[in-house]
Amino acid sequence: MAVVVKIPTPLRRFTAGKRQMELPAGTVGGVLSALVAGCPELGERLYAGDGELKSTVRVFVGELDIEAIGGLGADAADGAVVSIIPPVAGA
């Protein structure tokens, strides 16, 4: 049982260019922990010093922002798509 994690272009340099990765289903926090375990440099780009996601990083399960469905404890069930949206500068 797995979820698909979509990796945004700015973070692909830390995943050997992979656009997406399949990881074990569970909570969003567990999925992201598995992602960082395999790609350690992502950790400092996703997490603040307190172990929480940086306020500029958004994570979605399907079309739902995890902040609306339980944060890192939100369910990432088998077949779910988890998207990471990094900060965007400029305009």
Q: What's the helix, strand, coil split of the chain in %, to 5?
A: 35, 30, 35
Say if CB 45 and CB 14 are below 8 A apart. Answer: yes
- pLDDT at position 72 is 95
pLDDT tens column, 33-83: 999 999 999 999 999 988 899 999 999 999 999 999 999 999 999 999 999
**pLDDT category, 86, cuts 50, 70, 90?**
confident
Q: Higher confidence at residue 69 or residue 90?
A: 69
Please say if the pLDDT value at position 1 is more than 60: yes
Domains and CATH numbers, the chain: 2-85 (3.10.20.30)
Cα dist. 91→15, 31, 61, 68, 81 in Å?
27, 32, 27, 27, 28
How many Cβ atoms are within 10 Å of 46's Cβ, its own excluded?
A: 18
* 91: pLDDT strictly greater than 80: no
